[in-house]
A = this chain, B = another copy of it.
Amino acid sequence: MKALLLILLLSLQGLVQSACLTRGTGDMGIIIERASGSVLVIDTTAHEVLSRIEGLGDLSHASAVFSRDERYAYVFGRDGGLTKIDILCGKIVKRVVQGGNSIGGAISQNGKLIAVSNYEPGGVKVFSSADLSLVADIPATQTNKGKGSKTVGLVDAPGQRFVFALYDTGEIWILDMKQPDKPALSKFTDIGRLPYDGLVTPDGRYYISGLFGEDGLALLDLWHPEKGVTRILDHYGKGEQQLPVYKMPHLEGWAVAGDQAFLPAVGHHEALVVNMKDWKQSGRIKLHGQPVFVMARPDGRQLWVNFAFPNNDTVQIIDSETQKIIKTLKTGKGTLHMEFTPRGEEVWISVRDQDEIQVYDTESLTLKTRLKAHKPSGIFFTNRAHQTGL
């Protein structure tokens, strides 16, 4: 009887321990498996997959943010689904379908609120990060077709604020959620035609919106919203020749190194260099194809670039100081996303058509290891919890 009891106790102990991991979460992350509606939970120290969580719906173009304790990820699906997952227990905590067609979200500075921007119906919804209950519903301006404008480019900013753009009506709105029961909106209109994406600089100061309907970018200084929206980089965009654009680049992929920003050109095989003191273009770097993401290594010394079809089998690495390409890697077809480890010693790259993640050493620029994944796209590490605008 004693032996039986011991076996029972040990197996229960095993169950308790296997159900959820007791471990630090600072070296964890998730990888979106877009075709199967699942995510992998990974360990960046051991280079291991810890679990697969299924049932997240349509994850094409999905993105994610992390809770301030780095235990939970909030995954924004294209189908309007918002899923809270527990990366220690490898399971879904809660899932709501909050809109018909969504395009990303953000977590507030204090970690208490999750905002989601929607295409269909337009507008932004704000949820409690604890239980995904609705806190605020912000409808967008009506278009002349009688529908709410699509909302895009949603980011968080210091002071419990969210910032986003209205695609159809050409606006930027600041949503101040300091008093969650009294959402306060500041609206900037006529900011340019068809803003399609946005970013906030890593310090949380400047919100920048890309325009699909005209060239140039719209800039808002969040330290001085009273100054209104100004236009920068007048030639940024598709340009007079109306080049074919295979994929509009992600503005979130802006890289900042020192006081220079590096951004993907639209339609051209180039990265642009912008002086952040005056927001004027100071250079351009010829590339292998149309860039999608231009990402800075955390120390700003290198920029890693991936490309749109048909060049999406390649990654190029630029030295930020000399602005020269120092290496061209053939990673494989469907190279979709890159994520640096927090202190930049590695970069993880998703290669969809090879069903794998490739991990590179960023000093030797060589492949360290590969992990299997089903059609991987976005890679998100927990240290994003500690950063503004990610």
Given contacts A27-B68, A68-B342, whether A388 and B22 have CB atoms under 8 Å apart is no
| Complex contact A72–B24 (CB within 8 A) | yes
- Closest chain-B Cβ to A302's Cβ sits at a distance in Å of 10
Complexed CA–CA distance, A223 and B319 (Å): 11
Which single member of B5, B158, B277, B299 contacts A205 (CB below 8 Å)? B299
- Closest chain-B Cβ to A256's Cβ sits at a distance in Å of 10
Most buried by B among A12, A25, A301: A25
- Closest chain-B Cβ to A330's Cβ sits at a distance in Å of 25
| Complex contact B158–A344 (CB within 8 A) | yes
| Complex contact A70–B25 (CB within 8 A) | yes
Stoichiometry (number of copies): 2
| Complex contact A299–B204 (CB within 8 A) | yes
Most buried by B among A67, A109, A160, A343: A343
| Complex contact A26–B203 (CB within 8 A) | no
| Complex contact A25–B25 (CB within 8 A) | yes
Per-position binary interface string of chain A over residues 353-390, scored 1 when its CB falls under 8 Å from any chain B CB and 0 otherwise: 00000000001000000000000000000110111100
Given contacts A69-B45, A299-B158, A388-B343, whether A21 and B24 have CB atoms under 8 Å apart is no
Any B CB within 8 A of the CB of A8:
yes
| Complex contact A158–B69 (CB within 8 A) | no
| Complex contact B12–A343 (CB within 8 A) | no
Chain B residues with Cβ below 8 Å from A342 are 68, 385-387
- Closest chain-B Cβ to A277's Cβ sits at a distance in Å of 8
Chain A interface, >50% SS class: loop
Chain B residues with Cβ below 8 Å from A158 are 299, 301, 343-345, 363
The B-contacting residues of A in range 43-76, CB under 8 angstroms, are 44-45, 66-72
Any B CB within 8 A of the CB of A41:
no
Chain B residues with Cβ below 8 Å from A205 are 299-301
Complexed CA–CA distance, A8 and B13 (Å): 12
Listed from nearest, the 4 A-B pairs whose CB atoms lie closest are A24-B71, A26-B70, A24-B69, A342-B386
What are 27 A-B contacts defined by CB distance under 8 Å?
Answer: A5-B5, A12-B13, A16-B16, A22-B22, A23-B69, A24-B71, A24-B88, A25-B69, A26-B70, A26-B382, A26-B385, A26-B386, A27-B68, A27-B111, A68-B342, A68-B343, A70-B70, A109-B344, A109-B345, A110-B343, A158-B363, A160-B345, A203-B258, A205-B299, A223-B321, A342-B387, A383-B383
Q: Give 9 new A-B contacts, CB below 8 A, not counting A21-B22, A27-B68.
A: A12-B13, A26-B70, A159-B363, A205-B301, A223-B321, A299-B388, A342-B386, A342-B387, A343-B388
